[in-house]
Amino acid sequence: MDMIKTLGAAGVIPVIVIDDIEKAVPLARALVKGGLPVLEVTFRTACAAEAIGKIKAEVPGAILIAGTVLKLEQLVAAKAAGAEACVAPGFDPAIVDAANKLGIPFCPGVATASELSQALALGCKMVKFFPAESAGGVKYIKDLLGAFRWTGVKFMPTGGVKLSNVGDYLAVPEIICCGGTWIAPKDAIAAGDWAKIESLAADAAKLAKELKSKNA
């Protein structure tokens, strides 16, 4: 998978935390139906790998990204379950190296110029800027780009991104997509309110499409 092309086409990536495996498929269906097919299933829960496998098998059109991949065993489990790429909130050169050897696209997290330099040195073309708002938001990314734009690096800000500010991020050409938990809130998942989640996904997908057309 061309990670940059696929995530860039989506614009907004729902970051989902699945505690109950029975909710994985209906949640994914709601998000895909709402227009957001690229889903980041985080390894914050024990059933993450199983959820990726179930969604891949039962939800046509869903593109699975494994999130919060911090350990080698998670990386291996994600690939075995069918994840097409992995992302992490931080930068660990050993995990980046392992992903390269396994042949799975990997997007490490960075929050400083030093981490970004190290990620680029290991061949990373795209990084997750986390926690985006707390680390300085759009202004900080623009400041980084003042020194790193020539490298061609692409960004995926996550953390504090929501419908009210996602447009500010996506207006920056090097920010190809944003990750967000607001699209699949915990209370809606717990209640099985798939209509609400589909509506939130549709709003995000519409905004991303409009912004991409405007910035093209």
**Looking at residue 42, which CATH number applies to its domain?**
3.20.20.70
Task: State the pLDDT at residue 192.
Answer: 97
Region 146-167: mean pLDDT is: 97
Bridge pairing between strands 106-107 and 109-110: unpaired
Active-site option among 23, 54, 79, 128:
128
59-115: pLDDT as tens digits: 999 999 999 999 999 999 999 999 999 999 999 999 999 999 999 999 999 999 999
pTM for the complete prediction? Answer: 0.96
Flag whether pLDDT at 179 surpasses 80: yes
Active site residue: 23, 40, 84, 154, which one?
Answer: 40
Q: DSSP code of 209?
A: H
109 torsion bin: left (phi>0), alpha (psi -120 to 50), beta (else): beta
Structure tokens at 13: 């990536």
Q: Is there a catalytic annotation at residue 73?
A: no
In this structure, are residues 29 and 14 in contact, taking their beta carbons and an 8 Å threshold?
Answer: no
Question: Residues 19-62: pLDDT tens digits?
Answer: 999 999 999 999 999 999 999 999 999 999 999 999 999 999 99
CA gap 200, 14 in Å, rounded: 10
| 40 given a catalytic annotation | yes
Residue 147 domain-assigned? no
28: in domain:
yes
Domain that holds residue 186: 3-108+162-206
109-110, strands of its sheet edge to edge: 109-110, 126-129, 154-157
In a domain, 62, yes or no: yes
Whether residue 122 lies inside any domain: the answer is no
Classify residue 201: in a domain, yes or no: yes
In a domain, 84, yes or no: yes
Alpha helices in the chain (DSSP H): 3-10, 24-33, 48-58, 72-81, 93-102, 113-121, 137-148, 166-170, 186-191, 194-215
Domains contained in the chain, number: 1
Q: Is residue 216 part of a domain?
A: no
**Is 133 inside a domain boundary?**
no
